[in-house]
């Protein structure tokens, strides 16, 4: 399934892939995006609690997303802590207002892009920024995102409202893409 807009087409990620982002800019991204990463477990919790699938994978995914928080912190330790960083509050507030089916769509739009995005980020963090593979476990986890993607697809087919899921998918893809504007150009409203 092709997602539009594609995260790796964003100017910030294209510059990252070429090694054109400074270490300071990566530190700002790392700190800002931590707010989003910290909310992913609660988003999955909301979806699983509301749709109530009789399947243990939901709880496993929620725990894995909680475990990812420490892995996210690990790769940013090599960067100087930023004095200031943009907040992704607008996107977070929009996700907080979504119905469970919309939120599942938004999560799925993000999850299906993770394997490719994680692979590129890991490769370029090692190649251009000298990070060691052992601190990049967060990206290793997301290169192998197939169980999350499959579970999201299963939930969508069996439990989600199809129209709301599609709305959330489209809106989520746009929100995740535009959240990167905070790091490469003047911040725009995320609607």
Reported as a single tens digit per residue, the pLDDT across 73-131 is 999 998 889 999 999 998 999 999 999 999 999 999 999 999 999 999 999 999 999 99
Question: What pLDDT is stored for residue 78 in this prediction?
Answer: 84
How far is C-alpha 139 from the geometric centre of its chain's CA atoms?
A: 11
Q: Are 89 and 32 in contact (CB under 8 A)?
A: no
Question: What pLDDT is stored for residue 4 in this prediction?
Answer: 74
Domain 11-184 has CATH 1.20.910.10: yes
> What global pTM score does this model have?
0.91
Summarize the confidence of residues 43-65 as an average pLDDT: 93
């Amino acid at each position: 399934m092709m997602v539009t807009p594609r995260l790796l087409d964003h100017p910030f990620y294209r510059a990252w892939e070429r090694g054109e982002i400074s270490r300071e800019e990566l530190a700002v991204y790392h700190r800002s995006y931590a707010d989003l990463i910290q909310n992913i477990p609660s988003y999955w919790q909301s979806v699983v609690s509301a749709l109530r699938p009789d399947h243990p994978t939901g709880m496993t995914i929620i725990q894995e997303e909680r475990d990812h928080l420490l892995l996210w912190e690990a790769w940013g330790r090599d960067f100087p802590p930023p004095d200031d960083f943009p907040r992704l509050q607008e996107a977070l507030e929009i996700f907080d207002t979504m119905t469970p089916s919309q939120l599942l769509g938004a999560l799925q739009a993000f999850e299906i892009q993770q394997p490719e995005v994680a692979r590129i980020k890991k490769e370029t963090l090692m190649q251009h920024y000298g990070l060691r593979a052992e601190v990049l476990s967060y990206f290793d986890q997301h290169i192998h995102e197939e169980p999350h993607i499959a579970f999201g697809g299963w939930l969508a087919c069996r439990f989600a409202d199809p129209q709301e899921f599609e709305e959330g998918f489209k809106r989520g893809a746009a929100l995740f893409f535009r959240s990167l504007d905070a790091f490469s150009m003047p911040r725009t409203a995320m609607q």
